[in-house]
Structure 1
Amino acid sequence: MIAVGEKIPDVPLTTVDAAGTTESVRSGELFGSGRTVLFGVPAAFSPTCSDAHLPGFVAKAGEISAKGVDRIVCVSVNDPFVMTAWAKDQGVEGVIMLADGSALFAKAMGLDLDGTDFGLGIRSQRYASIIDDGTLTWIDVEAAPPDHEVSTADVVLTKL
């Protein structure tokens, strides 16, 4: 797993917004300058992700940004179409939705999760992190996918 003090890996990803606009980006570019709060979720539309994790960051986006954060990013191993539909469903504002369709980013970060037993295939672990100018400065990973204790927006606010 990536460690504090290491550079974020540079892989291709896709950003999406609630309007359906997509943009190809590289993680090295997206996270390379400024301060980013990045949180990973195992699956769009899953109960914990949709009922608690993402909504917490959407609700606290203003407070997080006020602490000097340039961007808040949610990443999931889903395609851009699913991420667009999820952003629309959740009324996402203030959070960049990032599609990691082939789990390249999750694997490069060492945060991939084998959800095959649950019919999900390779996914991302649930985590939250802070990235400064492309370098990981803080991360906490949940012990199990349904857990939602150490990666919440409230916890992130205490780390900023």
Structure 2
Amino acid sequence: MLPNSEGKKVPQVTFHTRQNNAWVDVTTDELFKGKTVVVFSLPGAFTPTCSSTHVPRYNQLADALKANGVDEIICMSVNDTFVMNEWKAAQEADKLTFIPDGNGEFTEGMGLLVDKDNLGFGKRSWRYSMLVKDGTVVKMFIEPEKDGDPFEVSDADTMLNYIAPRAKKPLDVTVFSRLGCPFCAKAKAQLKEKGIAFDELVLNKDYRNVTLRAVAGQDSVPQIFINGQHIGGSDKLEAWLASNT
């Protein structure tokens, strides 16, 4: 059975990081002492679940976590600092701190360094998350010991629900737009005025008309989707915002 370290201090380790083209050693104390920190650790940078779900959702919920007492959110993996830096840039995860446990010392100290030889990975971290206060582990969410790479409990939503069950989560918003469209500009301005973050997909760059017809049943822009609901154009967005914010 994988060990649970709740109530224990995190391992004392020096992490070798690369910052602004210089080597910078970062200690466990610098990361955790006097702080409330969320850590999520995963098997490897650029791997499917880690890149498509684990990192993006923690980055999306970072503001909500910090609004509820978390000082820092650390993504950790048994990878070197160059890989971790490139991965952070590729993920545009500017709200997270990426820490390279290149030698696996921290992960081994947590008792969660496992064999991934069957995948050609060597020793890697088992997937888990934890809440750490002043260097002491308060809560851990360790993925179940199953074949493959289970991802059931170490996600950002589970952590936020533990820390602040009533916390308001950000809306999932996508705007289908085209360059030069005044109604698209109006819709984006409305969202920005409300402080609502959104993803924008631009016609003939990110999608074609056939895609918009497939998902929205029409090809006029903008078309706005919120939490899986098709809202419509800028006027309908204005009405939705008036009723829901």
Tell me the TM-score normalized by structure 2. 0.62
Which segments of 5 or more consecutive residues in structure 1 lack a partner in the other structure? none
Distance 1:22 1:66, change over 3 A: farther
Q: How far is 1:71 from its partner?
A: 0.4
* Aligned residue runs from structure 1 range 81-120, under 5 A: 81-120=82-121
Q: How far is 1:52 from its partner?
A: 0.5
The higher-RCO structure (CA 8 Å, 6+ apart) is: 1
Distance across 2 between alignment mates of 1:20 and 1:154: 34
Distance across 1 between alignment mates of 2:41 and 2:79: 11
Distance across 2 between alignment mates of 1:6 and 1:37: 15
3-state secondary structure, aligned to 1:138: strand
Alignment of 1:56 with 2:71, yes or no, is: no
Report the equivalent of 2:175. Answer: none
How many aligned positions are there? 159
Distance 1:139 1:118, change over 3 A: same
Is 1:15–1:24's contact at 8 Å kept on the other side of the alignment?
yes
Distance 1:21 1:59, change over 3 A: farther
Report the equivalent of 1:9. Answer: 11
3-state secondary structure, aligned to 1:159: helix
Is 1:16–1:96's contact at 8 Å kept on the other side of the alignment?
no
Distance across 1 between alignment mates of 2:56 and 2:24: 23
Q: How far is 1:30 from its partner?
A: 1.1
Report the equivalent of 2:155. Answer: 152
Distance across 2 between alignment mates of 1:70 and 1:139: 17
Distance across 2 between alignment mates of 1:83 and 1:73: 12
Report the equivalent of 1:122. Answer: 123
Q: How far is 1:92 from its partner?
A: 1.1
Q: How far is 1:13 from its partner?
A: 1.1
Task: Report the structure number with the largest CA radius of gyration.
Answer: 2
Distance 1:88 1:138, change over 3 A: same
Tell me the TM-score normalized by structure 1. 0.93
Q: How far is 1:146 from its partner?
A: 2.1
Distance 1:21 1:151, change over 3 A: farther
Residues 48-73 of structure 1: CA deviation (Å, up to 9, x unaligned): 00010011101111011111000000
Residues 97-141 of structure 1: CA deviation (Å, up to 9, x unaligned): 000001011101111111011100000011010000100000011
Distance 1:34 1:112, change over 3 A: same
Q: How far is 1:15 from its partner?
A: 4.7
Q: How far is 1:23 from its partner?
A: 3.0
3-state secondary structure, aligned to 2:50: helix
